[in-house]
Amino acid sequence: MSMATTQVAQPMTGEQLDLLCINTIRTLSIDAVQAANSGHPGTPMALAPLVYTIWNRVMRFDPQDPIWPNRDRFVLSNGHASMLLWSVLHLTKTQAVNAEYESLGQPAVTLDDIRRFRQLDSRAPGHPEYHWTSGVEATTGPLGQGVANSVGMAIAQKWLAARYNRPGFDVFDYNTYAVCGDGCMMEGISSEAASLAGHLGLDNLCWVYDNNHITIEGNTRITFTEDIAARFLGYGWNVLRVGDANDVDRIQQALEIFQKTTGRPTFIILDSHIGYGSPHRQDTAEAHGEPLGEEEIRLTKRFYGWPENAKFLVPGGVYERFAAGIGARGAEAREEWTKLFEAYRKAYPELAAEVDQIERRELPAGWDRNLPSFPADAKGMAGRDASGKVLNVLAQNIPWFLGGSGDLGPSNRTLLTYEGAGNLEPDTPGGKTVHFGIREHSMAAIVNGLSLSKIRAFGATFFIFSDYMRPAIRLSAIMELPTVFVFTHDAMGDGEDGPTHQPVEQLASLRAVPGLVVIRPADANEVVEAYRYVMQLRHEPAVLALSRQPLPTLDRSKYAPASGVVKGAYVLADAPGGNPEVILIASGSEVTLAVNAHETLLGEGIRSRVVSMPSWDIFEHQSQEYRDSVLPPAVKARVAIEQASTFGWAQYVGDAGRIIGMKTFGASAPLKELQKKFGFEPDRVVAVAKEVLGRK
């Protein structure tokens, strides 16, 4: 007799109920993948016991309040196994929360969502999607990203505890659990993230590695034969092994060892067989990436002792088992924390108010006070230098604003040097400067993890190395996180380093990412206004592309104020009477070049206008009326100037306009020689402007 049928006939033991719940997760996964004719059934079948144990026996999570601040975090890094998550979110009756952090009084994932797995508008999409389905802590799918996010979450807990916990008030003491597979372990980002986690001694972090020896192409022995236990021991992790993925007691014992381990993160190697169930389907790549088929499903359900023809069956007792486990444990933990926080609020009202603001992604009063204003200066200031001054002010005004660079703090000017800032290190987890090391990819994903924890965070490097970060930047945009990516050396300013260090296509590439705000400021005051804009974002990440070399600080008594940055583009300098015959459009270091050409043109009686366009994205969100006021449709003579790829500028200059930009990679030479070679000089701009006007 099957477990699914005997539960009506006689009371079930706890062990039988556990197995019933596990097989419910398995069969929901099988049925959902089959109905969608798409997806990965093998991993959910193999890992159902693990996920059941974490959720129903170990994790502190209240399904009635899935955004409770001190909840444990669960990240499914092998996101192709998303049915694991949809199953437990449904079976625990996790509640939906909206973008304003209000409970909607309805389930996050319904059984109908699971029936429509991978279908349009289902809350059970193909991979976990943060902000789309409540209970999802991070969008995962690109392998390795989730485990790197989990490092950011663990750092966040350490930082929050250092700032807000007080004797008798452990306001933040949650753990982060991440489940990962062979793909995550092969991706380089996991090595970067694990190395930093080991250095920081993140004993609140547990990764569980599904060691099943199978990837899409076959057995991992064809590519992946390293001693992974030795690898993680080398990183400074506590390494445990559970030899049977179906042994929930052993799994729980390993998780309890993690909870008692101090000074080191924990790595649990879980030996499993993918597609565990019907014996003849074990150790096959097909079980990983394809629906099983109706006949195989019947055999598998028979192996589980399940009604063979039942679809999306949740037997009696399953919902109740989860309610008695994670439901009761989570509710009790949240109620205790709520009482603790009420007492904390009375004892430390200012700190409690900060926690409230963090959770709502708000900024403290006066967050932009004392931001610098730079006087006109022909010699000027580098964008990176202005940025460093702004960052140090913002980090003092916003206690939960922190970050750092990929080993380039002195060059990016991201070191927070004010008194009391400190470095975030194993013994000083409350420091404000994070040293990510030369780990750009994981830095971006860790910054995402910090942001997922509601901390305002930034990461920085040279603009050219944004290529190493691109997958995580893209996910930041997908997740709608207000992360900040600070990039310096935005063009040819470090000329002698040559084309390997001179960004050409990066601006166009990042401008193409939906929802990513890219800003390239023209002078020190535009840098200030760029940060003023960026810090108020709640659902968009931002990229700041800043110069290495000094840029003249424009005389704002003569030219328009830098506050025009908030519009994405603005008229910086204009012809007398505001009736231009030619428009010069530029960003960053080329704005001064356009201004110089503009002055020459005016002297020759040619009515020109200079438009500073630091952000295409912001400009495109302005009204048509405003955009037409900056770029009048009737004025066809236009010249765009930017030390980057010309790709995309045609939309602003039109068929009659010209673009002075890069159509090749750069070269190794001093900056002035490069500017001459590639045509970034005032005389060249003047000549092109005359050409588009049909004049010599």
In the block, which residue shows the tokens 């972090």? Answer: 205
Per the CB < 8 A criterion, the answer to whether 643 and 662 are in contact is: yes
Which regions of 284-333 does DSSP assign to beta strands (E)? none
Residues 635, 609: Cα–Cα separation, whole Å = 10
How large is the average pLDDT for residues 306-325?
A: 96
- Cα 446-252-84 angle, rounded to 5 deg: 60
**Collapsed DSSP state (helix, strand, coil) of residue 534:** helix
Q: Is the pLDDT reported for residue 623 higher than 90?
A: yes
Which residues, 6+ apart, have CB-to-CB distance to 567 below 8 Å? 618, 619, 622, 626, 630
Q: What is the mean pLDDT of residues 319-342?
A: 98
The count of residues in the chain is 696
pLDDT at 690 over 60: yes
Q: Is the dihedral of CA 357, 360, 361, 367 positive or negative?
A: negative
Contacts of 419 (CB under 8 A, 6+ apart): none
The answer to whether 146 and 138 have CB atoms below 8 angstroms apart is yes
Catalytic, 440? Answer: yes
Average pLDDT for 442-463? 98
CB atoms within 10 A of CB 651: 9
Strand positions, DSSP E, 294-439:
377-382, 401-405, 423-424, 433-434
- d(Cα 146, Cα 20) in Å, to the nearest integer? 29
Cα 613 to chain centroid, rounded: 26
pLDDT at position 495: 87
Q: Predicted confidence band at 379 (pLDDT cuts at 50, 70, 90)?
A: very high
Contacts 24+ apart (CB under 8 A), 621-628: 621/568, 622/567, 622/568, 626/567, 627/569
Which ranges of 571-665 does DSSP label H, i.e. alpha helix? 590-603, 616-620, 624-630, 650-653
Two structure tokens written together for 340: 């603790």
Structure tokens at 447: 């910054």
- pTM comes to 0.96
Please tell me the predicted confidence (pLDDT) of residue 512. Answer: 98
Query: Residue range 163-170: average pLDDT?
Result: 98
DSSP state of 326: I
CATH architecture observed for domain 377-552? 3-Layer(aba) Sandwich (3.40)
For the beta carbon of residue 684, count every other beta carbon within 10 angstroms: 18
Tell me the Ramachandran region of residue 468: left when phi exceeds 0, alpha when psi lies from -120 to 50, beta otherwise: alpha
Sign of the torsion angle spanned by Cα atoms 447, 448, 453, 457: positive
- Residue 12 CB partners (closer than 8 Å, separation 6+): 3, 6, 20, 317
Q: How many Å apart are CA 682 and CA 679, to the nearest integer?
A: 9
> C-alpha distances in angstroms, 316 versus 4, 7, 55, 86?
8, 7, 19, 19
Report the sign of the C-alpha dihedral through residues 321, 324, 326, 331, in that order. positive
Residue 11 has pLDDT above 90, yes or no: no
- What pLDDT is stored for residue 6 in this prediction? 42
Q: Are 43 and 84 in contact (CB under 8 A)?
A: yes
Q: Return the higher-pLDDT residue of 154 and 216.
A: 154
Phi (first) and psi of residue 248, to 5 degrees: -65, -30
CATH numeric code, 16-334: 3.40.50.970
Note whether 315 and 2 are within 8 A (CB).
no
Cα dihedral: 240, 244, 246, 250 (round 10): -40
Q: Residue 629 pLDDT more than 90?
A: yes
The string of pLDDT tens digits covering residues 87-129 is 999 999 999 999 888 888 999 999 999 999 999 999 999 999 9
* Residue 230 host element (H or E): helix 228-235
Choosing from 440, 526, 529, 590, which is the catalytic residue?
A: 440
Question: Which has the minimum average pLDDT: 57-61, 362-366, 458-462, 676-680?
Answer: 676-680
pLDDT band for position 289 (50/70/90)? low
| CB contact at 8 A, 184 and 77 | yes
Closest CA to 510 of 549, 449, 469: 469
pLDDT digits (tens, 9 = 90+) for 570-593: 999 999 989 999 999 999 999 999
Q: What is the DSSP string of 10-75?
A: SPPPHHHHHHHHHHHHHHHHHHHHHHHT-S--HHHHHHHHHHHHIIIII----TT-TT-TTPPEEE
Q: What is the maximum alpha-carbon separation in the chain?
A: 98
Closest C-alpha among 530, 363, 544, 518 to residue 454: 363
How many helices (H) and strands (E) are present in the chain, helices listed first? 27, 23
Helix, strand, coil tally for the chain in percent (to 5): 45, 15, 40
280, pLDDT greater than 80: no
pLDDT band at 9 (very low <50, low <70, confident <90, very high): low
The DSSP bridge partners found for residue 640 are: 585, 659
Pairing relationship of beta strands 214-215 and 377-382 according to DSSP bridges: unpaired
CATH number of 561-692: 3.40.50.920
Question: What pLDDT, on a 0 to 100 scale, did the predictor assign at position 40?
Answer: 86
pLDDT mean over 265-285: 66
What pairs with residue 214 in β-bridges?
219
Residue 5 has pLDDT above 70, yes or no: no
Average pLDDT over residues 515-532: 98
For residue 276, pLDDT beyond 50: no
Percent of the chain with pLDDT over 70: 96
Query: Closest Cα partner for 529 from 561, 494, 571?
Result: 561
Which 8-state DSSP code applies to residue 681?
A: S
Q: Which residue, 208, 203, 144, is CA-closest to 178?
A: 208
DSSP secondary-structure letter at 325? I
pLDDT in tens, 531-575: 999 999 999 999 999 999 999 999 999 999 999 999 999 999 999
**What is the CB neighbour count within 10 angstroms for residue 283?**
16
Q: Mean pLDDT for the chain?
A: 94
What value does the mean pLDDT take over residues 240-253? 97
Instruction: Name the residue ranges covered by the structural domains of the chain.
Output: 16-334, 377-552, 561-692
| Spatial separation of the C-alpha atoms in residues 357 and 362, rounded to whole Å | 5
